[in-house]
Structure 1
C-alpha cells in the first residue's frame, strides 16, 4: 500500500506539472526538456537580465507612485544573488520637518512583523525548544478559547496560520481601548469560534498568543528572544519589537494619517500589545539582511541562523486564505506568518503586507526561483503603494513588462478600508430631536465582561464617556436617549461616529456590538 501511495503522489505531481491533454507531437525536443522535478518548472524562463532591467525601472515606478498617492515617504530595496542591489529612500520622514528618508531610516512594519516573528519561531523549532505543533496551553496554561476541546488542541502553528477559529481581527478593538497583551489574550475565551483548522480568519492576537507560548518556553520576553536569536546574529541593530526602541531612533519616520485629501502626522501607533503580530520596526538596510537570509534558506555569512527544515513549513501552504471562486482561478494560501501563492508565471511568491490606519504601509515579495526579493516601506495610511510597486517589479522580473494596473487594483481595496464606521457616519442630526432625559439620569458605571466598564460622567453640562485607558470622549445628543461621539483609532478612521443608546440601566454601544457584546449594564 505504501508503494502504491508513492506512485499515486508521483503521478499527481506529473499531471500537475505537465498536463496530459497535449498531443504527442507537441512534446518538446529533448534539448528543451527540463531536468528538474515538474513542480519546480515555471511556465516560462525569466527574460534576459530580468532582475537588472527591473531594478533599472524602480526609480521611475517609485516616483510615479509617490506622485499619484501623495504618500510622504518610502524606502525600497532589492536583494538578489545574496547581495543588496538596490536600496533607496524617497520623500520625507515627517511632512512637518522635511527630513529625507534614506536606507537607514526606521519605519514601523505593522503586520510585516509577522514574518519576522515566524522566523524567530522557526529558529526555536530548529533547536528543538518548541514545535509548530506544540499546544498553546502546554506553555500558557491560563489561555483558553470558547470550546474546551479546541483549547486543548490549538497549537503554535494553528495561531501562526490563523486557523484557530477565532473571529477576524479578534481583540484588536480591545487594544484600541488601551488594554495590555495579557488582558486581551485572556478575553479570547469569550469569543465565538468558527470550525477549527478549516476556517481562516486573520487574528493579530491569536498570532500573538502563539508567540507568547514560544517566549514562555524560552524563559524570556518575546522582544528579548527576537533580539538574541534573529536580530543580533543578522546584525539588524535598528530592528526591534519594542515601541520605545522605535521612538528612540534619531533617524525614524512618523506615521501620517490620510484625512481630508492629505497626509498629516496626527496620531501615534503604539503596537506593543500585539508586538509579535504588528509591533516591529526596522530600517531598509536591516530588512535586506533578513531577506538575504530568507533567500539563502536560513543561512547568513556561511552560518545557519535558522534551520532550513524548521523554516520550510512557514513558507509553504498551511491553510487556504483566499479560496478560488471558479475552477480556473488560483487560490491563495497562508503558511506560518507568510502569504504563499503561485503567480501567473507558475512561480511561487512568498509575501506579506503591513497596514496601520494611523500611518504605516509595508510589503515584501520573495520570488525564490528567481533568487530575488523586494521590500517597500511607507509612513502613511495604506494606499496600496508598496504592494503596487512590488507587484510591478515582480511582473518585470517574470515577464519583462507590467501586466496589470496594480496601483488601481490595490488602491481601490485600501480606499474601502478608510471608510468611516458607524451607522450614523456622514448623516445629519434630526432637525427636531426628541429631548433627552436629565443628564444626571444617565451618569454611572456600566459594566461589561468583555470590554470592561463604560463610565458616563457629567461635566460642564455635557456627558462624557470613557472606556479603558484610551477612549475618553464627549457624548453629543442626537435624538431622545441616543447620543453620539467621534473618535479616531486604528480601527475607526476619521469621520467615524459612535452611537450610544441609553435604556434605563442599559447602555448599548453600536461600535462594540458587532459580536453581540455591546450592551453595558449599570
Structure 2
C-alpha cells in the first residue's frame, strides 16, 4: 500500500509523544535563572551541532519562561544547498502542531460564548454526517478535538491526496465505517478535527481562516502566521520541505494542506509561536490582558483519551482537546508534535507549573531532532545535566518506525509469481469505475500501457505497470517513488473488469469501485 497518506500527516500519531516519561518528577524550585541560562547555552550548542552534522537542513527554536521569550534563534538553511539562512522569522509549515493552535482558537470562541465545547455538530453544521445516525446526532466539538468520534485515523487523508477539497472530503466522511464505538476509542483524525474547527466557526458566519486571524493571530501580533497556504508561499523567507534521497537532504515535494488547515495547515515562525506559547502558559492572559477566559482554555488540557505508550519510555500518554497531556519525569507537560512525510517536523512542549515552554520547527522528515533537543533542554532545565543522547534515541525510534514499513511495501511486490500470468487485453480493464467515496476513476490507454485517473476531473494520474494477470502496480507517493501499490481487477463473464480495487485508496476498505456502463 502507498505510504503517503499513512505518514504524511501523522504529526498526530499515537507514537509521537512530546517528552519521554519516567516515574520521578523534579521540584519546580530547581528552575532557577541560572539553570535556565545554562540550559539555553547547551540547547544552542546542541542545535548548532545537529545542523552541522546534517541532522536537519534547518530549524528554529523559541523558549518562553515566566512570560518572557528567553531564547529565539534559527539554525542552518531554509533549503539545502542554498545560502539563505533560517532565522527567527523564517516561516515553516508546522503540520499537526496546527492542532493545539486551532484548539486555542476554538477556546477563544468558547470564551466569547460564540460556541461551546459541547455544542452539537448537528446544530452547528447540519449537513455533516457520520456513517451512523446516533453518533451523528450526538457528536460534539469536544468529541472531534479529542479524536473520539469513531472516525478512523486516516479518514479523508486519501481523498485529499487525490485532489478533493475540504467541503467534499468532509461530505464523504459519511461513507467511512467507524473504527470504534462512539466515544469508546481514540483514533487520531485530521479531518475529524477539521470538521470540529469548521463547525465551531460556523456561528460567526466567517471562514475558519478568517476566524483564526481575528481570534489569535492578529491579537498576538503573529504577523507571519496563517492558515492559508497562499499566504505561506508569499513569504520570501520560508523553509522548504526536505526528505533524504540517497542520504542527502533534498527539497523535492511541495505540500498544500489547505483542505485540513485546522489540523495541519498553519504556517508560522518561531517568533510568532513563542507569543502563542506565552498566551497558553499565561492561562489566556497576554501582555496583561485576558484574551481567553481560563475556564475555556483549561478544557483543552483535560486528559480525555489514552494515546497508548510512548515509543521510547513505554509510559502512558493522554489526549485532551488538540493537546497531548503527559505526566513524566519532569512533571506535567502539555504538547504536540507535527510532521509531513514530505519534509516537516515540529514540536511544542510546555511545563505549565514552571511557566516554561519550548517550540521547535524543522524543515525535514524523518528526524527525531525536535524531540531530542526538547528532551535535552528539559533535562538541563530541571536536572542540570542531560540523561542521554536524546537526539540519537529519537532518530533511532523514527528509523525503526518507518524503515521497515517502506521495506515491507517494496517486498510485497518485489517480484511477480514465476511464471507470471499474462494480462488480458487492454480493453478488459479500460473504462469508468465509481463508488460513493472515491467518486469516478477512469482507466484508459496511453502508449502501450494503461493509466488510472482519479480525483475531481481526473486530477491525479497514475501509470499502471503489469505485475501478474489482473494485478497492476503504480507508484502513488512522490516522496517514496520506489514504493509500489497494487491496482487489481476482477473480470466478469464478458471478459471485462467488473470491479477495480485501488490499494492506496483502500485503507478504510473503500477502494473497490464498480464498472459503470460497458
| CA deviation map 1:38-62 (0-9, x unaligned) | xxx9557426522221111012211
Matches within 5 A, 1:129-140: 129-140=114-125
- The residue number in structure 2 matching 1:506 is 499
Q: Partner of 1:301 in structure 2?
A: 287
Distance 1:198 1:503, change over 3 A: closer
Partner of 1:141: 126
Work out whether residues 453 and 468 of structure 1, in 8 Å CA contact, stay in contact via their aligned partners in 2. Answer: yes
SS of 1:374 mapped into structure 2:
strand
Query: What's 1:28 paired with?
Result: none
Residue 231 (1) aligns with residue 217 (2): yes
2:22 counterpart residue number: none
Aligned to 1:356: 340
1:261 maps to which of 242, 247, 264: 247
Structure 1 residue aligned with 2:476: 487
Structure 1 residue 510: Cα displacement: 2.3
- Relative to the length of structure 2, the TM-score reads 0.88
4+ residue stretches of structure 1 with deviation over 4 A? 41-45, 423-426, 429-432
3-state SS of the aligned residue for 1:93? Answer: coil
Q: 1:455 aligns with which of 427, 437, 442?
A: 442
* Residues 506, 520 of structure 1: 8 Å contact kept: yes
Partners of 1:362 and 1:378 within 8 A in 2 = yes
Distance in 2 (CA, whole Å) between partners of 1:114 and 1:498 is 30
Query: 1:390, CA displacement in angstroms?
Result: 0.7
Please report how far the alpha carbon of residue 458 of structure 1 lies from its aligned counterpart in structure 2 after TM superposition: 0.2
User: Matches of 2:162 and 2:314 in 1, distance apart?
Assistant: 40
Aligned equivalents of 1:44, 1:296: Cα separation in 2: 17
Alignment of 1:389-468 (within 5 A): 389-415=373-399, 416-417=401-402, 419-420=405-406, 422=409, 427-429=414-416, 432-468=419-455
Q: Which residue of 1 aligns with 2:353?
A: 369
Once the two structures are overlaid, the 10-residue window that deviates more, 52-61 or 418-427, is 418-427
**Structure 2 unpaired stretches of 5+:** 1-24, 492-497
Q: Distance in 1 between matches of 2:480 and 2:470?
A: 25
Corresponding residue of 1:24 = none
SS of 1:453's partner is strand
Alpha carbons of structure 1 residues 189 and 404: separation in structure 2 relative to 1, 3 Å: farther
The corresponding residue for 2:277 is 291
1:211 match: secondary structure:
helix
1:171 & 1:218 partners in 2: Cα distance? 25
Give the secondary structure class of the aligned counterpart of 2:397.
Answer: helix
3-state SS of 2:395 partner: helix
Rg comparison, structure with higher value: 1
Q: How far apart are residue 509 of structure 1 and its match?
A: 1.9
User: Are 2:89 and 1:104 equivalent residues in the alignment?
Assistant: yes
Q: With CA pairs under 8 Å and 6+ residues apart, which has the higher RCO, 1 or 2?
A: 2
Output the TM-score relative to the length of structure 1.
Answer: 0.87
